[in-house]
Structure 1
Amino acid sequence: MIPTSPKDSTVELTSVSDIDSSLFNKPYANDQVCAVTFNNTVTDNSGNLIVYIALDESTVIGKGFTNK
């Protein structure tokens, strides 16, 4: 997995079918992605930032936000 600080973020292996495909920057052929949720990034308009990373652990596929 991707090295992150547990205090600052969480990393989950997530099924692509559970994610709105409009959040991806480009088509993605695999069934799963790493979803990295960055804690304490909530704004007045959105929840915490989520970055979707391919299983190669270096390609950013897209981004989104949690519900507030």
Structure 2
Amino acid sequence: MDATAMLEWLLERNVSALFRVDPGREGIRPWTFHASSEPRHGDGWSVRADADSPEECLRRARKALKQHGLDLPE
């Protein structure tokens, strides 16, 4: 699943998310993924993944999302 498909999949589940690259970090883990759910009765959550490449960032993001019950399709 590429980044666009991943973001669309999360949107369908009411999860706010972004995938970003920040050149100001001077090459040190410039890729960031962040996602969060809206708190409902105190059960909101957020995840963040930073990495050196977009592929690694998405891999880490998938792992973090799975811990919150979001098992993304391949």
TM class, shorter-chain normalised? 0.3 to 0.5
TM-score normalised by L of structure 2: 0.39
Structure having the higher helix fraction is 2
Structure showing the higher strand proportion among its residues? 1
For the pair shown, the structure with the greater C-alpha radius of gyration is: 2
